[in-house]
Amino acid sequence: MIGVNLDTVCAISYLSVEYVRPPPDQKASFDMTDINAFIDDKVKTTDVFLFMKGTPDFPQCGFSGQVVQILNYLGIDYDSANVLENDELREGIKAYSNWPTIPQLYVKGEFVGGADITREMFQSGELQGLLEGKGIAVRQTA
């Protein structure tokens, strides 16, 4: 069982991410068409992609941190985007998936779920089965 304090308050921090590096005095900005194209590209071209608050090295929310811990425990190679970096991305991913919360985990273009669903699937072994079924190597089981 992965231990994360679910009462952790999600802090907002503006950290650099690989997809956009705006000048220090500006926030990243996209229009919704660009955001949808960015999201669609990441979801469809990356085997495992996590939209999260913060980064895998520095999660800014306990729920995002939980999913990172699960993926790291399983030895999954994944990429991520920090939705706190960009308001359009934060709202765009919610519209894209029709899911109101973050984090959001995608595997081979398929929306898996948020922290609760990912955790439940991990604990039951269903997440490992999904990953292996899609050809993604899993290092450990729950």
* Residue-wise pLDDT tens digits, 103-134: 999 999 999 999 999 999 999 999 999 999 99
Query: What is the pLDDT at residue 33?
Result: 74
Query: What is the pLDDT at residue 12?
Result: 28
Query: What is the pLDDT at residue 142?
Result: 55
Domain annotation for the chain: domains and CATH numbers: 32-133 (3.40.30.10)
- Omega before 24 within 30 of 0, i.e. cis: no
Estimate to the nearest angstrom the gap between the alpha carbon of 29 and the chain centroid: 20
Task: Please identify every stretch of the chain with a pLDDT value under 70, giving residue numbers as ranges.
Answer: 1-32, 140-142
Query: What is the pLDDT at residue 28?
Result: 52
Query: What is the pLDDT at residue 62?
Result: 96
Query: What is the pLDDT at residue 139?
Result: 87
Burial class (CB in 10 A: 0-12, 13-18, 19+), 9: exposed
Burial class (CB in 10 A: 0-12, 13-18, 19+), 87: middle
Token pair for 33: 């068409």
pTM of the model: 0.77
